[in-house]
Amino acid sequence: MFNSNDVILLVLLLASVVTSIGYLVSVHQAAKQLPRIDLSEIFDNNDPAVQSPTVSVIIPAYNEEDNIAECVKSILTSTQLSEEHLDVWVVDDQSTDRTLEILQTLQLQLADPRLKILSGLPRPNGQVWTGKNWACQQGADRAKGDFFLFIDADVRLKPKSISAVIQTALDRQLDFLTCVPTIVCGSLIEWLVQPLMFINLIVTFNSEIVKDPTTKTTYALGPFLLFRSSIYRAIGGHQAIADQPAEDVALARNIKHQGFRLQQFLGAELASLRMYQNWTSLWEGWTKVLYIGAQRSVSLMALLVVVMLLIYTIPWISLIIAIFQCLQAFTTLHYLEFGLAVLTILLQYWIRQTGAQALGSSTKYWWLQGIGGLLVAVLAIASIIKTETGWGWTWRGRKLTLPKKV
């Protein structure tokens, strides 16, 4: 006779297998179906015979002393576009570290007329400006380009990336473009969380409801957002979503709701991104945007928790239990449980491998994903609690206010 513990374990393992297979199919489809940009066909020059559009790159910077210099250098060295075609606006958002000092020194050292440094103003009284929205809006108000490319200080652009996204937007008649860059992880905690988060992101980008132009659902990745400047102004820019912590999703939804054209890309060839470098920033960053980005849907957060635990955490726990049971008693059921646990772990490796190929990353520390899945589940639950209660809901020490729904 089967005892209740055996039945529960078997049911959980079967659910893990089914969920993992379905998720693997979704990851594989995303890796194949999400478009990429072929840089080999991109010309990055200032041919006077070709009337090319101008572009303004806008970087909001708040306490980015460790990132800002390399970010700016990557932008300026990534392209041969001249001052007539490119201006780069770095907006210091009232930083309390050496960010502004580093920028001013860099401007003197490089003597590049394309680089503009703006010391951001304090937030307007009586208005709620959350996160980087105020800095982005100040940069956009100064910028003159036909296109606005917003990137974060932790992004590093690759050669020809600016010309590539402009040409792609023109060829595909897009008003808005976002991409998922190569994901860079430099610490164990990043390897545990970031690959799982970004694999889930590309699956979301490739979902039918997001790709369907008749639906209102869409998503974007804030570190890399390209707009036609005329469309950016038409939707009200960052001012229209000033109180939104997940400004990338809010802007993308405004674009889609108003009937403009947008598309999500895999962008490993365009840029790299090291989004959060330690547990403190991972905790603060993901709990800030996960729940809000899902439009405060408890059901979506619950689904994320269940999927992460079924795919990544439960198989490893089940494997340990199954090994212990097999050592205790030689039964067909225990060996079946062991086999199902091994199968599910192989499936999660294939998920990581397929995701790594799409993200330009690797499968490093994949065997610790049981911990990673649990951490993502905790982040999702904490995001709900922090957002709804305001407890510890901050970004770099700045308290966040619950925004209106968009």
Q: Per residue in 85-144, pLDDT tens?
A: 999 999 999 999 999 999 999 999 999 999 999 999 999 998 999 989 999 999 999 999
Per-residue pLDDT at 397: 73
Per-residue pLDDT at 406: 54
pLDDT higher than threshold 60 for residue 10? yes
**Interatomic CA distance for residues 351 and 318, integer angstroms:** 19
Task: Return the structure tokens found at 187.
Answer: 């610490």
CATH architecture for segment(s) 37-187+201-280: Alpha-Beta Complex (3.90)
Mean pLDDT, the chain, integer: 93
Confidence of residue 400 (pLDDT cuts 50, 70, 90): confident
Per-residue pLDDT at 50: 53
Confidence of residue 49 (pLDDT cuts 50, 70, 90): very low
* Cβ contact 58:137 at 8 Å: no
Per-residue pLDDT at 51: 60
**How far does Cα 9 stand from its chain's mean position?**
34
**Interatomic CA distance for residues 275 and 187, integer angstroms:** 12
pLDDT higher than threshold 60 for residue 1? no
Per-residue pLDDT at 146: 97
**Interatomic CA distance for residues 361 and 357, integer angstroms:** 6
Per-residue pLDDT at 42: 79
Per-residue pLDDT at 405: 62
Residues in the chain: 406
**How far does Cα 117 stand from its chain's mean position?**
26
Per-residue pLDDT at 2: 59
For residue 136, give the nearest of 76, 91, 78 by alpha carbon. Answer: 91
Task: Return the structure tokens found at 46.
Answer: 């200032």
DSSP strands (E only) in 204-353: 224-228, 262-273
pLDDT higher than threshold 90 for residue 59? yes
